[in-house]
Chain A
Amino acid sequence: MVLIFIDHADGHIKKASFEALTYGAALAKQLGTNAEGLLCGTVADDLALLGKYGITKVNQVNNEALNNLDSLVYGKTIADAVTALGAKVLVFSHNQTGRAVAPVVAAKLKAGLVTGAIALPDTSNGFVVKKSVFSGKAYANVNITSDIKIISLNPNSYKTVAGEGTAEVSQLNIAIDSLKVKLTAVNKVSGEVPLTEADIVVSGGRGLKGPENWGIIEDLAHVLHAATACSRPVADSNWRPHHEHVGQTGEQIAPNLYIAIGISGAIQHLAGVNRSKHIVVINKDPEAPFFKAADYGIVGDAFEVVPKLTEEIRKLHNS
């Protein structure tokens, strides 16, 4: 059986988990077995509806203590669930929760782990998972040889498919350890689309000259329901919050559309965004290296081009 970890926050299942469920169900089909979900904690969403992603059953460890993440307790709980259910493959999303938990589970189960998977494994000769390496500049094919195998899927690299069907919801009785990590505060930037989950990202660089000019970036992001990001010097100068910094040393993202405005396209910046499906570059310098990595581009002044772009998109939405 293929077991998919279902991640949630604020009572709702995260979008990245729909991708993981779709992926896990496709993998189960490839292996001639069934796929089930595993949810730790409680949510407001109707779990039976997750059947539409191709899973037959959702196993829930119904314990409110698990609504807070303590990696070690989570890791042990999931490892116990894998053992109790006899799962052979475990799928995570390689998001913040996946990074916090999957390696703990792998250690507990002595299971081979491949993180950052971008495609279904090749099971014709072994169990070979393609993962992103060198910060998106290459892929490695990695064979997992242990009995139990763990994969964590890069967000935005497998398309969610929703069909028909409902899943059976079943309670799983697992005794959990007391939490050692005590959560004292959660600060969420309200109203913004989280960067790592966003379909579209609008990003600004030093070409915007200063934080007072970010209105044009925010307006464009707003009409596109996009998240905002920035280059490292922009975050380092405190023009924008640090969590918006993308690149080699910042967040690595792979949205469907990445719009880079006033960013030169240094190799370290590209390392965080080059897995984006479509890249648009707006830069006044035709020689900017970013154009080599772009699908579409405009050579022009951001302060003239971006407001026009926002306007044209508004028109498109209204038409």
Chain B
Amino acid sequence: MKILVCISKTPDTTSKIAFKNNNTKFEEAGVQWIINPYDEWYALVRAIELKEKDAGTVIHLVTVGGADTEPIIRKAFALGGDEAIRINATSDDSFYVASQIAEIAKQGGYDLIFTGKETIDYNSSSIGGMIAGLLDIPFISLATKFDITGTTTTVTREIEGGEEIAEVSLPVVVSCAKGVAEQRIPNMRGIMAARTKPLKVVEPAAIEPLTHVTSYELPPAKAGVKLVAADNVAELVRLLHEEAKAI
């Protein structure tokens, strides 16, 4: 089986969020970059688990990004994965990114394409569905469990107030949420092996972006907390009822 795992780079979860150039660019100074948690903890680790069960499995990683994404790819390699492809382009348009990955997927003949549920910086939750739409293959979003027997996959996905279990044949695109795999940390052998695994750089296909970010804003600051004494709970209820009109 051939698996393609989509890997993206995001600021560390504790990063200070600030903007520069008249609020048109994210301030990267001092930011630590990590593999998007959904891509690492769930999508990539599940692919590795599948390979551990079936040694014939091949895992390719793909990222759309500049040379600055290579440390992220090496980190992913330390966990597992056989080869990586970096499409040398940066874009904040989901359609552009998905189209680039779809081009790679067409050439690679993958049985399974994993993405994360969403990136924690752009929060689009879009790339997986778009890749599926472009390749015209089924898509399962927000998977919390993923199993495979032969060429049939059994996937549990989140729905409002519960979950749905469905079966679908390969090939399929799956976006992975919490539950799909157990988070791992790389071991020394993995870290050593990561240095020499092949990372191929390809130039992007000509695709017209359909959206672009014009500016960023920070939310208005909170006015400050109103504290109520612990022996005066009735006052909190009054405030929630009369002032906030929330209950």
Contacts and interface: CB of A to CB of B under 8 A. Distances in A.
Given A14-B160, A71-B141, A185-B164, A292 B225 contact: yes
A50 B128 CA distance: 32
Interface of B: 11, 13-14, 17, 19, 37-38, 41, 92-95, 98, 120-134, 136-142, 144, 154, 157-169, 175, 178-179, 209-219, 222-223, 225-230, 233-234, 236-237, 239-241, 244, 246-247
A139 B217 contact: yes
Most buried by A among B98, B122, B129, B159: B129
Contacts of A271: 13, 120
A250 to B, nearest CB: 6
Interface string A269-310: 001001001101100000000011111111111001100110
A142 B163 contact: no
Interface of A: 9, 14, 69-72, 75, 94-97, 99-108, 110-116, 126, 128, 130-146, 180-189, 192-197, 200, 224, 242-243, 245, 248-250, 252, 256-257, 267-268, 271, 274, 277-278, 280-281, 291-301, 304-305, 308-309, 312-313, 315-316
Given A182-B167, A197-B160, A278-B246, A103 B234 contact: no
A310 B158 CA distance: 30
A298 B144 CA distance: 36
B95 A107 contact: yes
Contact of B214 (A141, A188, A315): A141
B225 A113 contact: no
Nearest to A195: B161
Contacts of B228: 296-298
B239 A296 contact: yes
B14 to A, nearest CB: 5
Contact of B211 (A144, A196, A250): A144
A138 B17 contact: yes
A114 to B, nearest CB: 6
Interface of A is mostly: mixed
A107 B134 CA distance: 6
A217 to B, nearest CB: 16
Most buried by A among B127, B133, B229: B133
A29 to B, nearest CB: 23
Nearest to A310: B233
Given A103-B126, A249-B178, A301 B230 contact: yes
Contacts of B241: 316
Given A133-B121, A245-B178, A250-B178, A100 B237 contact: no
Contacts of A193: 161
A187 B124 CA distance: 26
B162 A280 contact: no
Contacts of A71: 129, 132, 138-141
12 contacts: A71-B138, A71-B141, A101-B129, A104-B132, A107-B132, A110-B210, A112-B95, A112-B210, A134-B123, A142-B92, A252-B123, A312-B236
B115 to A, nearest CB: 10
B95 A106 contact: yes
Contact of A309 (B131, B132, B227, B237): B237
B156 to A, nearest CB: 9
Contact of B93 (A105, A112, A131): A112
Contacts of A187: 162-165
B157 to A, nearest CB: 8
